[in-house]
Structure 1
Amino acid sequence: EILHKENRHLCQRYMKYCLGITHLAVKNIAAEYTILKNFLIWLQQEKAISVKNADSNIMEKYFRLLDSKNIKEGTFNNMLQAITHFFDYLKVQDIIQKVPYHVEYYLKKEIYTHHNRSINEDVYMEMIHKLPLFPEKPRLVFLHLWALGLRCNEVCTLKGNAYYMQGRDAWIQVYQYKMKNYKKVPIPLALYKLMKVYIRKNGILPEEYVFQNSTGGAYLYGTFRKQMMKYCGKYGIGDGTYQFKSHDYRHTLATMFYDNGTSIQSVRDYLGHDFEEMTQQYIDYMPKKISKANKEYLSKEENSLAAGIKRCKRGK
């Protein structure tokens, strides 16, 4: 689709760099490629210009075109950053002298809106009660989501040696693909015992995936979600209207921890976030917590809004 030969060649080089050197996940690289491809296709319509010769005027024209499409601020900034990464690469490779625009000039202010994604207790308790009706593999994956708040891809890629005892406590070692590191979290003893039985029954070796697909590779998220959607509908979870989303259980657990007095720093460490701002996006019902604190404060007589009011005769 990128007909300009030089632009296509530079795009190919950049994609090889992204795959071989950067820490980006493949899906993020694919998303960045789509943004870059659209830009280069547009560029070839502008008198088949080489990206090496793109100046501030041509970039201004393209960014104004994007702006006219009423793209959300966050999406616009992602597109801007993807194109900037490409130009930064060209600069480092001495293909261009400088990036032909100032990225700070075009970045838009984002106003983050919090979306309540916690699952209603009635729904997940109904799921727990009907879980024996589900096939074994999705049933066990679900328990990891519900009890531990792990990302689904972290559960799907667990290895046979992930579960262990330390003293009297059961633990799990999880590789976080998003953070590119391991984390260890405590797990319920019941889940530990269930998984040990499952691993022994299926003869899973320490370095093999616990949850496998038909070829022995990692169980796919798409397969898991498809099965969960099927059986949630079949057994009428949430009156048959519940739409299963694995990441909602991560939000639910974070909210539950916070509502029960766990500090936001501890929730952040448990979830494996780098910054508290990310954790704050996971915690729902913040107004409920504030309302509860207000009620407790104002219930004390000395804190009553009417504490300083005294009766007096009319006119005085």
Structure 2
Amino acid sequence: MDLDAYVAEHDAEWRRLAHLTGRRRLDAAEVDELVALYQRTATHLSALRSRAPEPALVGRLSQLVLAARARVTGRPRLSWTAAGRFLLTDLPAALYRCWPWWCGVATAFSAFTFFLIWYVAGHPDTAAAFIGVEAARQLVDSGFAGYYTEFSAPTFAFRLWTHNAWLAAQCLAAGVLVVPVLWLLWQNALNIGVVGGVMVSYGRADVFFGMITPHGLLELTGIYVAAGVGLRTAWAWISPPAHLGRGRALAEAGRLAAVAAVGLVGLFAISALIEAFVTPAPLPVVLRVAAGAAAWLAFLAYALILGRRAVRAARAT
């Protein structure tokens, strides 16, 4: 192929296509011309790729064809209907389909965390081995409560949001490997267990539970959801249903995990706002705990009640 001759022959068509693609309004004749030029240029691009793959020209025509295709097919726009369907149907249904997994993880690791708190509180030498005597005293005197007021509330909320979202992303992404998820859960339980055990052993159980409960109910539930969904993905690979192949089962579990991941971004935003603004607020403990419990119960109702309805509606159609 004589590349220079080919460009000279078709360059006017490519320029015309670029002009039509960039215009905001087209009449009927121009739309027909756009479609014809788009099809013709796509053919030119295919010929160049197979016969004379000159990188600069192929890149130019690739961008032109993609832009023209978007103009012909229409650019996707945000649909409030689609957003509502996601929030009211897709997300709760995904959470409900995975509920045995994340409820199981929540039960097991909550029990394990409380065991660690009880054990460390009853064996002060254990806490000393983990963090040291002086560090334990500093934690009780000011470190634990001071953690919630170390930064301004908006900055603290953003830090918490990104940290928890990253932790959840690790659980979801590494779920198929199983061991990394269990390791992250162990680290989380150990951290809470040691800190809680130290606070309880020094007679500050009221401070510990009064400050961790408002946000901890929702935050820990989000982490358990991420871990449960991740482990469910692993199980789809290890033991796929009889009517599905391993690849298809893993793909379906991955789609559910992707939907859950989007929902957890919002959940952790809410828990971060509670931890930054409600947990350290000068309010009675009862009110702070009630606010956190209300958010937690709202999430459970969303996932289990609304999710069950969404799943049943999908099966009925």
For normalisation by structure 2, the TM-score amounts to: 0.22
User: Larger % of strand: which?
Assistant: 1
Larger Rg: 2
Which one has more relative contact order, counting CA pairs under 8 Å at least 6 apart? 2
For normalisation by structure 1, the TM-score amounts to: 0.22
